Amino acid sequence: MKHKNLLLGLAAAALLTGCNAARVVAPLDAGEWRVGGALGGPQINTDRLPLISVYTAHGATEKRTDYVGLQVVSAAFQTLHLDAGSLRRVSSGGGVGSWKPEVNAFGGGTLLVGLRDGATRIYPNAGLHTVWSLPLGFKPYAGTDLWLDPTYRLAEFSQGTLLHPNLHGGLRWIGKHLEAGVEAKWLNPTRTFMVPQQTVPTFMGTGARGLYFTLAYRIP
């Protein structure tokens, strides 16, 4: 039964577009590499989907960071699930302790490929992170992103839609060698979800809610 529920949950994850935690929320130092992972996902019934992903990010310049990630659990069910993108600083903040936040824009996409039949889907996305800097390396942030599903007419259960907006907020701690964080997401607040024989808890009566934990190692 647990195996069946996991399969249904993974099917629901395809509906909950944008189910990754933010790979990076602010540009890395130029030349820096960051290798990490994330655990968590949207809530189905009383449990959260055990989504596990790994990623790497590179500071291309002081203002731009590129990243690529892989969903590990999807691979166990013969689905290749990759995401990649780039983040750029568009407005500098006021520094540590200032109320003026740093604003960073990002864009990229997610690739899903069925290893059994080769079925392929691509979901472009773009969004913003608003980040504050606090003492001791803490960075609270909030933001939004928008995903596009060009194949929404093929979705089952009449759940297809072209646009998938998400809201998120979290906290990152960035130390000398490690980064750790927690992020909450309000997935698709413009709609409700129906998964057969499952309940998708909402936030304020709509969408779905997700919680994620992140950990990364910094390589100068």
Contact 56, 67 (CB under 8 A): yes
Residue 137 is given by DSSP the state G
What sign results for the dihedral spanned by CA atoms 179, 111, 91, 220?
positive
How far apart CA 166 and CA 6 sit, in angstroms, is 23
* Residue 168 burial (10 A CB sphere; 0-12, 13-18, 19+): buried
Q: Where are the domains of the chain?
A: 2-219
Q: Which secondary-structure segment (H or E) carries 4? A: helix 2-15
Fold observed for domain 2-219: Porin (2.40.160)
Token readout for 62 is: 């002081």
Model pLDDT, residue 41 = 78
How far apart CA 19 and CA 163 sit, in angstroms, is 14
Pick the closest to residue 21 from 141, 160, 174, 190 (CA basis). 141
Model pLDDT, residue 42 = 76
Model pLDDT, residue 40 = 86
pLDDT tens series, the chain, 220 aa: 444 444 444 444 444 446 789 999 999 999 999 999 999 877 665 566 678 899 999 999 999 999 999 998 887 778 888 999 999 999 999 999 999 999 999 999 998 888 888 888 888 999 999 999 999 999 999 999 998 888 767 665 556 677 878 899 999 999 999 999 999 988 776 655 555 444 455 555 555 778 899 999 999 9
Single pTM value for the model: 0.84
Model pLDDT, residue 5 = 46
Model pLDDT, residue 192 = 58
Residues pairing with 174 in the sheet: 179
Model pLDDT, residue 31 = 97
